[in-house]
């Protein structure tokens, strides 16, 4: 009996031969050239230790963030590629006369992004939920094709981590160049302040923090202008930004229709999947994800505690004499939640160093997606709600008071 080696159309090695007039096949169970292709791919990139050197300051969290001198790297696991992230852009270093609201105000509407690999590049793409349809509906493909996701930024793959489970990209330019989606100034502000250009030499990343469900990046953007809101003689406008990159839950929270008789924040969508011969406008409320710890007792009408309560943390810049009264004002809302079947559903606490939002501090978003919040002072009374746009679940909010 003689066996010969061959390779099938999929590249799988097998051997064949004849014995007793019968054709016998025997597979080796591996593709020929797999190792050589892996080596060839890795050879196109630098080794991990050449990029993430001994000087690197690394933080593990949602994904690993490396700071190597003036460069910042994201180490993105392959299983996160394609997942959706909420990115929230807020002004953390404010300039007098810049706009209404002060430090902590968002400079852009909330955005949803995803990272996708394309050959030797990673693209950051913007995801829109303004027009929707059920994935089970044939029209879903048309909605996707007519709402094509724009490529916001492209990053060359620098290297792979040692066990080849993640790729590494240099994201420094994303936070030091003029990227409109996460920028500090609107088009109207650029015209009003006669902004010339962004100076990349005076723009830099000042701080990064990685948490289990979010990554925070603090960076300074420096512009030149002729009619600036403050320090006009310098011809320079520097604004500190905080970017919150938050992983969206895999299982969306059920939506609830908006009723104009009840005051709720809401989001409007065009739904192409309904049986109305048109793109129907749908308006949904944004709401907290309060789930009972004991669903059976909750169904009996008993008061139960939520799995994750709503917790507000008071800004450390708040005058001390006001703190007890602000805490009491938040805690007074417990009666309203008791009417909905929850006890201890909402409370306020003094600021804690480990839970910090990206105004002057940074915030660790709990794994449930319920936010840990901060009450920001001073300014005019205002509430910012950031919701998961797929299911309108509140991720976190901030309240500004005067």
pLDDT tens sequence for the chain (402 residues):
444 444 444 444 444 444 444 444 444 444 445 455 555 566 688 999 999 999 999 999 999 999 999 999 999 999 999 998 988 888 888 788 777 666 667 777 778 899 999 999 999 998 877 555 556 565 556 656 666 788 999 999 999 999 999 999 999 999 999 999 998 888 998 999 999 889 999 999 999 999 988 899 999 999 998 988 888 889 889 999 999 998 887 777 777 888 888 877 777 767 666 666 666 777 777 778 889 999 999 999 999 999 988 888 887 777 888 888 989 998 999 999 999 999 999 988 887 543 343 333 333 333 333 333 333 333 333 344 444 445 555 555 566 555
Give backbone dihedrals phi and psi of 18, rounded to 5 degrees, phi first: -115, 135
Token digits for 157?
A: 């793959």
**Closest-CA residue to 70 (of 172, 198, 218, 223):** 172
CB 181 within 8 A of CB 107: no
Give residue 64's pLDDT: 96
pLDDT of residue 341: 95
| Closest CA relative to residue 220, chosen from 235, 233, 232, 237 | 237
* Own/partner pairs, 78-84, CB within 8 angstroms, 24+ separation: 78/165, 78/166, 78/167, 80/115, 80/247, 81/114, 81/115, 81/116, 81/117, 81/122, 82/114, 82/115, 82/116, 83/114, 83/115, 83/247, 83/248, 84/112, 84/113, 84/114, 84/127, 84/247, 84/248, 84/390
pTM exceeds cut of 0.75? no
| Confidence at residue 292, expressed as pLDDT on a 0 to 100 scale | 94
pLDDT score, position 368: 30
The 10s digit of each residue's pLDDT in 30-59 is 444 545 555 556 668 899 999 999 999 999
Q: What is the pLDDT of residue 204?
A: 96
Cis amide linkage into residue 272, ω under 30° from 0? no
Q: Are 267 and 258 in contact (CB under 8 A)?
A: no
Res 36: pLDDT = 55
Closest CA to 203 of 229, 225, 173, 242: 173
């Amino acid at each position: 009996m003689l066996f010969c080696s061959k390779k099938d159309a999929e590249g799988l090695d097998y051997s064949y031969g004849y014995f007793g007039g019968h054709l016998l096949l025997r597979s080796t169970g591996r593709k020929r050239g797999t190792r050589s292709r892996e080596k060839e791919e890795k050879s196109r990139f630098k080794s991990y230790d050449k990029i993430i050197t001994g000087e690197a300051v690394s933080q593990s969290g949602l994904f690993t963030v490396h700071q190597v001198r003036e460069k910042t790297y994201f180490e993105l696991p392959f299983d996160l590629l394609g997942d959706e992230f909420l990115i929230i852009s807020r002004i953390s270093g404010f300039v007098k006369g810049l706009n209404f609201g002060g430090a902590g105000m968002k400079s852009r509407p909330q955005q949803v992004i995803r990272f996708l690999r394309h050959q030797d590049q990673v693209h950051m793409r913007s995801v829109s939920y303004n027009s929707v349809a059920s994935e089970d509906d044939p029209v879903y493909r048309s909605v996707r094709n007519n709402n094509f996701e724009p490529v916001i930024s492209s990053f060359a793959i620098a290297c792979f981590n040692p066990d080849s489970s993640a790729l590494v990209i240099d994201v420094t330019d994303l936070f030091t160049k003029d990227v409109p989606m996460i920028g500090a100034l609107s088009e109207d502000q650029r015209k009003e302040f006669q902004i010339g250009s962004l100076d990349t030499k005076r723009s830099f990343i000042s701080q990064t923090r990685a948490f289990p469900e979010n990554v925070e990046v603090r960076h300074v953007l420096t512009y030149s202008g002729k009619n600036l809101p403050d320090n006009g003689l310098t011809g320079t406008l520097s604004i500190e930004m905080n970017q919150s990159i938050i992983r969206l839950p895999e299982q969306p929270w059920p939506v609830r229709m908006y009723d104009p008789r009840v005051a709720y924040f809401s989001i409007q969508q065009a739904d192409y999947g309904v049986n109305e011969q048109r793109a129907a406008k749908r308006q949904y409320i944004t709401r907290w994800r309060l789930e009972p710890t004991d669903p059976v007792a909750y169904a009996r009408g008993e008061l139960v505690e939520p799995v994750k309560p709503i917790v507000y943390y008071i800004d450390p810049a708040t005058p001390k004499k006001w703190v007890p009264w602000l805490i009491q004002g938040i805690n007074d809302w417990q009666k309203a939640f008791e009417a909905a079947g929850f006890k201890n559903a909402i409370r306020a606490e003094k600021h804690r160093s480990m839970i910090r939002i990206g105004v002057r501090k940074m915030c660790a978003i709990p794994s449930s997606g319920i936010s840990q919040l901060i009450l920001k002072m001073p300014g005019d009374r205002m509430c910012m709600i950031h919701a998961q746009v797929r299911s309108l679940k509140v991720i976190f909010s901030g309240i500004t008071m005067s």
